[in-house]
Amino acid sequence: MTMRLEGAEGAMDARALRAGLEHFTRFLSALADETACPLPIVDLKVGSLFATVDTPQYLQDRVDEGLTFLRSEGARPITWPLEALKQLSDYANLKGRYGVEQVGIDGHDSGTIDEQLKAAIEKALSGLPLSLGAIQGRISSYFGVSRPVKVRVVPDGMRSYVRIAVPDAHLAEQAARLVEQRVIIRGLMVRHPESGAIEEMTAHSIEKIEEPEISMSVDEAVGIWPPNLFEGMTSVQIARMLRNEA
């Protein structure tokens, strides 16, 4: 896929190349299946700036299909994480800066990011169901190569993970030390518009959960109740007694 920044000859600042590549590659990385998907540059032209990145076919399809859906529906494509939408917005907003007159992504069916597509991107971002909240669970993975740093947290009682961005450097260091530990992470959540399930999150604080010390071993607990304590009782009566409801 090709990053395309168009401008008058001699008018584009070198910072356009830096900012364009940063947002373009972060956009592709957010959509990739691999956390550190290689994105080798196979062609680079200056004047107007063209940088061609060798991307897997599935990633090119994901970009093309997502842009088509975004243009027609004004909503975030289901295969796109929030980070991809944010980076695309930042990339599109290079128009009018550093001498950039036009911004585009050239693939199969992609192309110029015109005002219609730009408006669809902003509509999708403004329509996301955001909320403040907390997740309690175990940090299962830490990805320090990407920016922002990302972690995966498996919430208590669940098998699937939630992607959490950790933009603050101090918090990122804290998260690295807490891999495989149980934590409470508070921050801004993105929820699925229909199910309400947490899709991803941006961390504002991370706190380790201190596990309580076990004051009695299993062997010590065996025989703590008399053997005939529940004699003649139904299961419902036993449950009520254990809940102090008898």
DSSP 173-242: HHHHHTTTSEEEEEEEEEE-TTT--EEEEEEEEEEEPPPPPP-S-HHHHTT-S-TTTTTT--HHHHHHHH
Q: Give CATH superfamily name and number for 130-208.
A: Nucleic acid-binding proteins (2.40.50.140)
pLDDT in tens, 204-214: 999 999 876 66
C-alpha to C-alpha distance for 11 and 29, rounded to whole angstroms = 29
Domain boundaries, the chain: 2-126, 130-208
pLDDT at 174: 93
pLDDT tens-place string over residues 125-153 = 887 777 888 999 999 999 887 678 889 99
Q: DSSP readout, 227-243?
A: TTTTTT--HHHHHHHHT
The CA distance from 15 to 19, in Å, is: 6
Model pLDDT for residues 184-193, shown as the tens digit of each residue: 999 988 877 6
Say what the pTM is.
0.62
**pLDDT tens-digit series, residues 109-123:** 557 888 999 999 998
Confidence label for 15 from pLDDT (cuts 50, 70 and 90): confident
Quote the DSSP letter at residue 209: P
Residue 221 reports pLDDT greater than 70? no
CA–centroid distance for 161 within its chain: 11
